[in-house]
Amino acid sequence: MSDDPFTDPDVADPEVSRALEIATKHIEDAEDILWTVAEQAESHDHLLEIEDVTSDIWAIQNRLTDMQEKVD
């Protein structure tokens, strides 16, 4: 068994890949919701907070993409 659970052949199977796809979809949905809210935000402070959270989401999306590439 390897130290990386995403490249270990006993773990890297279709279920892991599917779970990552589902997580990616939920994160994309969250991003879309935040963009919609940002467009409606009346407070500049709220807009800045939403942008910060959106940046965090992009980082998560990048990590999920990296993980998906390891699994595939």
- Taking a C-beta distance cutoff of 8 angstroms, is the pair 4, 67 a contact? no
Q: What is the pLDDT of residues 14-49, one digit of tens each?
A: 888 899 999 999 999 999 999 999 888 888 888 999
Residue 22 resides in a domain: no
Residue 68 resides in a domain: yes
- The whole domain housing 55 covers 44-72
- Given this model, what pLDDT does residue 1 score? 47
Could you give the number of structural domains in the chain?
Answer: 1
Residue 60 resides in a domain: yes
Residue 29 resides in a domain: no
Rounded to two decimals, the pTM is: 0.73
**Mean per-residue pLDDT, 47-65:** 94
- Taking a C-beta distance cutoff of 8 angstroms, is the pair 20, 68 a contact? yes
Residue 7 has φ and ψ, to the nearest 5°, of -115, -5
Q: Residue 36, CB half-sphere, CA atoms under 13 Å: how many?
A: 6
Residue 49 resides in a domain: yes
Residue 70 resides in a domain: yes
Structure tokens, 47: 């807009």
